[in-house]
Structure 1
Amino acid sequence: MVERLNKCHQSRSDNNNESESSSSPAFESTSSFLTQFSNLKSSIESQLTHSHSVSSSDPSQLKPHFEQISTSISYLEKLVTENSYFLPSYDVRSSLKTIADLKHTLETLISQLLPKKKFSFKNKAATKKDTTNNNTVTPQEPKQPLPLNRDSLGFRNKSGELLVGDFRGSEVGKFTVSDLNSCEVRIIGCVSTLFIHRLKDSRVYVGPVMSSVLIEDVEGCVFAMASHQIRIHAATRSDFYLKVRSRPIIEDSNGVRFASYCLRYEGIKEDLRGAGLDAEIGNWGNVDDLKWLRAMQSPNWLILPENVRG
């Protein structure tokens, strides 16, 4: 089975070549996250409501007041990003909509109360200043990547290698696969949580993951994995063979294809049963694209044709 997947991946790579010639808490609980989100949202709304009072009593405090609100909104946005890999897609969308509304309200207040001041959210890129302007531009915080556990077990910083982890009969918590180029990863047995980051032209074949899989910044790869939740961010030209209890989530991705999980090894049925992943729900084909909220099919992903599957 692995050999067949490798051949399909190589065929797709050949075709593409021819055509081209952190610090927020991870709650791991939806109810805990929503409670924290609601409390922070209420606090920000209270600060926004207080803006007119600040303007009347001491206009000189408006700028730091708005900066504090901006920082709070940025933190709230970061909180959603870092925990969205285990959240239901509806809660992610609802949270992002709330953040967008808060930003709009803040921008409206700024335009009303500070019409001559230039103001932007701290997590946005700074506008390039004219070279004749001597004002120093404060470096802006880069976009926060999805969370990775850098202290966990894992495979890191390899090129052109076969990496095998056999965890049958073992208890493995978080496992990280990162910074691989042209590698093949085989994980046999169960792990609790899987983090995958910065892979190129690699293949990752994984037994059951007890909770969630988080994938970020991958290109030209093939994945076969089973998990309760799978979140994919910044993936291009990659195939995913999945068994997943919730709908897979993609964001900032394109050219990704999906098919049903097909990995086989001795004892996998028992591993899947032990992880609560033995039933075939069919969610592998019900993909939510967070950057495509229209009713029509997202152009960023498609179902892998059966005649080219491994």
Structure 2
Amino acid sequence: MESKERFYRQFQSEVVGIQADISSLGNISVESGERKAATDSILSRISKLSLEVADASDFIPAYDQRTYSATVKSLTEQLNAELTKLAPAKPRFQFKRTAKPASSASVSAAPDNRLLRGVPDKPVTKAESRPSATATAAISEVAGAARNYNEEVSSMTAGIRRPSFSSAREVILSGHTGLHIILPLSASHATAYGSLTDLVDCVVDMSAPTASTARGGGGAPFQSLMLRNIERSLILAGHVQGAVHITGLKNCIVVVAARQVRVHECDRVDVYLRCGSRPIIEDCRQMRFAPLPSAFADEGAGQGAEGSNDQWDQVDDFKWLRSDASPNWSVLPEAERQPETVWTDEVVGTPEYSVLDVLKAVGIERSGV
């Protein structure tokens, strides 16, 4: 009952917030791209809310589940209606009529295609013939979407891969083994959503583009992040404004600051965490939690001031309903936590440290070693 009530309060609060943001879209500038960024953020929050409803199926009755899902669907409909209302009106066209019948010479000539298509009420000026700033941005976005940064990571020959993601909206990395990947600050343009899947023996550092002040920041936190099917890897996930969904990780270390953390089907995973709500685990074994290292603390990334509302050690195990403590998670003993020098020296990405060196430094042994 406590879980149901807590979920209801959080759900209602988020719905009210999303509705307020939808209503305020008309007050946000279009030319600077701010309205598009605000729309992307709302879409991400609606998607996150849908995932949370699905995750709550274990303790929410089917009837309530349908009600929550219908509410999420109505949010999408409200957003679509608001965007339709705010869309600029399409230009009106007229067909021009000739004042007198065409001469025989005109009849034999090729037809005027402008008259067949219709022309605007007034002549198009040279300035109007150029694409608008919004159209140019849309063209650039399509071009960026065609660029496959995930494939580029595989083709890079350097020891440390640094994909820019400068013309992408999302960070998606999948299907890599034995790589050290560090996202530069330019990837802050792609933090609407993040996804890391099917990685083995990898080190992935996304802290710089998601930090606004720490480690030379200037970036933007992820709106939401998914980590799935990762083995023997170190994931420096950075900062997440919304929820992190962690599924199917084995023998990994995750370092992340987020508003919500949901962990499913993980085994032997250490999580260095700052979290604005109680972390949730389900179907997990040997999970250990520790506070976020100071090297990754970022008070400007949306998680609040240092130590404020940080519930990293208030873990709820949804598959352990007994009153005694769950055996599936524990607090990582201070003596076994990585010292700050490991985060500031070994894992920052210098040529003298290979992937193997970094994984060993944090206590992860690669396969075959």
TM-score (norm 1): 0.52
- Of 183, 200, 204 in structure 1, the residue corresponding to residue 202 of structure 2 is 183
Amino acid in the other structure paired with 1:98: P
SS at match of 2:246: strand
SS at match of 2:264: strand
Change in Cα spacing, 1:81 to 1:169, as seen in structure 2 (3 Å) is: closer
1:30 equivalent to 2:11? Answer yes
Partner of 1:124: none
Partner of 2:312: 284
- Asked if 1 retains the 8 angstrom alpha-carbon contact of 2:282 and 2:318, the reply is yes
Counterpart Cα distance in 2 of 1:299 and 1:238: 14
Change in Cα spacing, 1:276 to 1:285, as seen in structure 2 (3 Å) is: closer
* 1:1-310 alignment, distance < 5 Å: 30-31=11-12, 83-84=51-52, 92=56, 96-99=59-62, 152-167=170-185, 170-171=188-189, 172-187=191-206, 188-190=208-210, 191-262=222-293, 264=295, 269=298, 272-280=299-307, 281-310=309-338
- Asked if 1 retains the 8 angstrom alpha-carbon contact of 2:289 and 2:331, the reply is yes
Number of residue equivalences: 182
- The structure with the largest alpha-carbon Rg is 2
Change in Cα spacing, 1:307 to 1:234, as seen in structure 2 (3 Å) is: same
Deviation at 1:82, TM superposition (A): 5.7
- Asked if 2 retains the 8 angstrom alpha-carbon contact of 1:243 and 1:277, the reply is no
Counterpart Cα distance in 2 of 1:156 and 1:241: 23
Change in Cα spacing, 1:101 to 1:294, as seen in structure 2 (3 Å) is: farther
Q: Percent identity?
A: 27
SS at match of 1:285: coil
- Asked if 1 retains the 8 angstrom alpha-carbon contact of 2:258 and 2:303, the reply is no
Change in Cα spacing, 1:201 to 1:174, as seen in structure 2 (3 Å) is: same
Q: 1:68-108, CA deviations, whole angstroms, 9 ceiling, x for partnerless residues?
A: xxxxxxxxxxx999622898xxxx38x72524999xxxxxx
Counterpart Cα distance in 2 of 1:279 and 1:262: 11
- Asked if 2 retains the 8 angstrom alpha-carbon contact of 1:174 and 1:194, the reply is yes
Deviation at 1:276, TM superposition (A): 3.5
Deviation at 1:277, TM superposition (A): 3.3
Partner of 1:133: none
Q: 1:113-135, CA deviations, whole angstroms, 9 ceiling, x for partnerless residues?
A: xxxxxxxxxxxxxxxxxxxxxxx
Higher strand residue share: 1
Amino acid in the other structure paired with 2:204: V
Q: 1:166-218, CA deviations, whole angstroms, 9 ceiling, x for partnerless residues?
A: 23683321011110000001002322211101000001012211111111000
Counterpart Cα distance in 2 of 1:183 and 1:169: 19
Change in Cα spacing, 1:245 to 1:101, as seen in structure 2 (3 Å) is: closer
Q: 1:46-88, CA deviations, whole angstroms, 9 ceiling, x for partnerless residues?
A: xxxxxxxxxxxxxxxxxxxxxxxxxxxxxxxxx999622898x
For structure 2, the residue ranges without an aligned partner over 5 or more in a row are 1-9, 17-46, 66-168, 211-221, 339-369
Amino acid in the other structure paired with 2:236: Y
TM-score (norm 2): 0.44
Q: 1:144-176, CA deviations, whole angstroms, 9 ceiling, x for partnerless residues?
A: xxxxxxx94222110011011123683321011
Q: CA RMSD in A?
A: 3.3
Amino acid in the other structure paired with 1:84: E
- Asked if 1 retains the 8 angstrom alpha-carbon contact of 2:170 and 2:193, the reply is yes
Counterpart Cα distance in 1 of 2:311 and 2:54: 15
Counterpart Cα distance in 2 of 1:100 and 1:86: 13
Counterpart Cα distance in 1 of 2:282 and 2:227: 15
For structure 1, the residue ranges without an aligned partner over 5 or more in a row are 1-28, 36-78, 103-150
